[in-house]
Amino acid sequence: MFIEPRVGNGKQATRRGWIEVICGSMFSGKTEELIRRLNRAKIAKQKVEIFKPALDKRYHDEDVVSHNANSIRSTPIDFAQDMLLLGGSCDVVGIDEAQFFDEGLADVCAKLANSGVRVIAAGLDMDYLGNPFGPMPALMSVSEYVTKVHAVCVQCGDIAHYSFRNAASEQQVLLGETDSYEARCRHCFVEGMKAKK
Ligand code: ADP
Ligand code: MG
């Protein structure tokens, strides 16, 4: 389990920021882990703000909701840049579905961290084809801590790190749930992709 370098600022005179990334496939527990870390920061009486891309409204317009129905209030925004204005005065900025943000995300997170904010970003590291997703590779490069969480392969029960798409769409962004996606291990993902051809 991830242990924070420190949760609160304690008696420290200066604020120091950093970036944490929580990545993995769909159903791997990214949102749960994000909510866990943010709740602990709240217990430490930290000022916490949570952002998500406005396009992700699967469960709720404003809440960030895990597949386990845990939730936390968030602010939907259109551009990564919007976080600078809204998150600059916070101790902790949480971001869910980070992969849907624009390429400016890594730069924005670095700016926040440089100004003393602890940034925790959760997102898919790969799209449904197994390719790196949007701004995630750049964000992972500039972050101090990267935690890869894993789902369970629904085909064989092994450790899963791919989001296999059952639906026929070829758009990179297709919001969906267990009806359109399933977590798969490498072997079952490759077999599934072969069967699609
Ligand atoms: P993510 O944000 O990574 O998509 P969530 O944190 O929303 O994941 O949900 C994780 C929860 O999803 C698990 O605790 C479990 O209850 C549920 N779940 C459903 N399908 C699976 C699966 N194939 N592997 C693991 N967990 C699953
Ligand atoms: Mg999630």
Per-residue pLDDT tens digits for 135-193: 999 999 999 999 999 999 999 999 999 999 987 777 777 776 667 899 999 999 999 99
Average pLDDT over the chain, rounded to whole?
91
Question: Residue 15 has what pLDDT?
Answer: 76
Query: CA geometry: angle at 112 spanning 53 and 131, to 5°?
Result: 50
- Distance from residue 89's CA to the centre of ligand 1 (Å): 32
Question: Residue 58 has what pLDDT?
Answer: 60
pLDDT of 62 > 70? The answer is yes
pLDDT of 10 > 80? The answer is no
Q: Is 156 annotated as a binding residue?
A: yes
Question: What average pLDDT does range 66-91 have in this prediction?
Answer: 90
- Distance from residue 13's CA to the centre of ligand 2 (Å): 35
Residue bearing the CA closest to ligand 1, atom 7: 66
pLDDT of 45 > 80? The answer is yes
Domain ranges of the chain: 18-149
97 is catalytic: yes
Q: Can you tell me which atom of ligand 1 is nearest the CA of 32?
A: 6
Question: Residue 180: how many CB atoms within 10 A of its CB?
Answer: 17
User: What pTM value is reported for the model?
Assistant: 0.93
Say which CATH topology domain 18-149 has: Rossmann fold (3.40.50)
- Distance from residue 62's CA to the centre of ligand 2 (Å): 14
3-state helix, strand, coil in the chain (%, to 5): 25, 25, 50
Residue bearing the CA closest to ligand 1, atom 10: 29
Q: CB-based burial of residue 188 (10 Å sphere; 0-12 exposed, 13-18 middle, 19+ buried)?
A: buried
User: What does the pLDDT look like over 109-145, one tens digit per residue?
Assistant: 999 999 999 999 999 999 999 999 999 999 999 999 9
